[in-house]
Structure 1
């Protein structure tokens, strides 16, 4: 599968696609080195499992629901993944970490396959997800503050008897 995407990788905070320009190969700036160089990048499903940490069941499911379409096959019908597929799976992993619903991820993949005419809709999807992530980060900061307060309380309670015995 070859994924064409203009997603910016320059800063993590800028997730949205850039304004319409000629298509850019998503594999051009891989965030993680590939096990094999381009041109020799034919991975079995078990190799992809080892590299990504995903299960074979998950990879097959991604393909079945349209999140990972058009995986090449060997002459015997075995799936053969490329470096571009690994990059796409890394991106999907990031989307999963954001809490983006699978239906939205599939919609994003469909829009991506439709081409440049869907830049605006893809951007809107990613911006909505970014807003959700920012809200979750704020909630986690509040939760962390409560935990820190409780930890300080218990640490102080342990020190208090030591002061009385001195």
Structure 2
């Protein structure tokens, strides 16, 4: 599959796909005799994995390390698992922080809604 097709299929720019390959986020993509990238379904699964992990905020460095270990074979399974466990812990912490922020925003929004309602009530009072 050509890079334009992968870009369209996965909703990721061609430049980003090239960047991901260049920095080692995804394994090197096979090329045709003319040098054009020829993505396989496995390559697409890697791109989807990276896209998912990045959207959750996982750092590029951890994902590069994971990919490098993956390419080294099964003897790195434990190390890869440890990276994922650590990233999961960090993601849970971020989610808890985000939940606290969301709760605070909800409180502030409710408070402003109360203030607006009180102001409108005061404005609607008939004069004595």
Q: Which residue of 2 aligns with 1:134?
A: 92
Could you say which structure has the greater relative contact order, defined with CA pairs below 8 angstroms and 6 or more residues apart?
Answer: 1
Structure whose alpha-carbon radius of gyration is higher: 2
Q: Distance in 2 between matches of 1:163 and 1:61?
A: 57
CA offset digits 1:114-143 (Å, max 9, x no partner) = 122111111110011001111111111110
Q: 1:105 aligns with which of 33, 41, 63?
A: 63
Task: Please tell me whether the aligned partners of residues 44 and 80 of structure 1 are also in contact (alpha carbons under 8 angstroms).
Answer: yes
Compare 45-54 and 67-76 and name the one that shifted more. 67-76
Per-residue deviation, 1:58: 1.6
1:7 is aligned to none
**Distance in 1 of aligned mates of 2:36 and 2:100:** 48
Measured against aligned partners, the alpha-carbon deviations of 1:58-114 in whole angstroms (never above 9, x if no partner) come to 211222222222312122211111111111111011221232221211110111111
- Aligned-partner Cα distance in 1 for 2:27–2:72: 13
**RMSD over aligned Cα atoms:** 1.4
Structure number having the greater helix percentage: 2
How many equivalent pairs are there?
Answer: 124
Q: What runs of 5+ residues in structure 2 fail to find an aligned partner? A: none
Q: Secondary structure at the match of 1:79?
A: coil
In 2, Cα distance between the equivalents of 1:94 and 1:123?
Answer: 17
Structure 2 equivalent of residue 146 of structure 1: 104
- Give the TM-score taking structure 2 as reference length: 0.88
Q: Is the counterpart of residue 89 in structure 1 residue 55 in structure 2?
A: no
Among 53, 65, 74, the alignment partner of 2:11 is 53
Moved more, 135-144 or 114-123: 114-123
Unpaired segments of 5 or more residues in structure 1? 1-42
User: Where has structure 1 moved over 3 Å in runs of 4 or more?
Assistant: none
Contact 1:98–1:129 at 8 Å: present in 2 too? Answer: no
Cα distance between partner residues in 2 of 1:60 and 1:72: 13
